Amino acid sequence: MGYFRILAAIPGFFLSALLVMWLWGPIAQHFGMPAIDYPYSMLVTVTLWLAVAPLAAAGHKWG
* pLDDT for 4 beyond 90: no
Q: Read off the pLDDT of each residue in 11-24 and give the average, rounded to a whole number.
A: 94
Which has more confidence, 2 or 33?
33
pLDDT in tens, 43-60: 999 999 899 888 888 887
pLDDT number for residue 1: 63
What is the DSSP annotation of 40-52? HHHHHHHHHHHHH
Q: How confident is the model at residue 38 (pLDDT cuts 50, 70, 90)?
A: very high
pLDDT of residue 63: 58
The whole-angstrom separation of Cα 61 and Cα 63 is 6
CA 11, chain centre distance (Å): 11
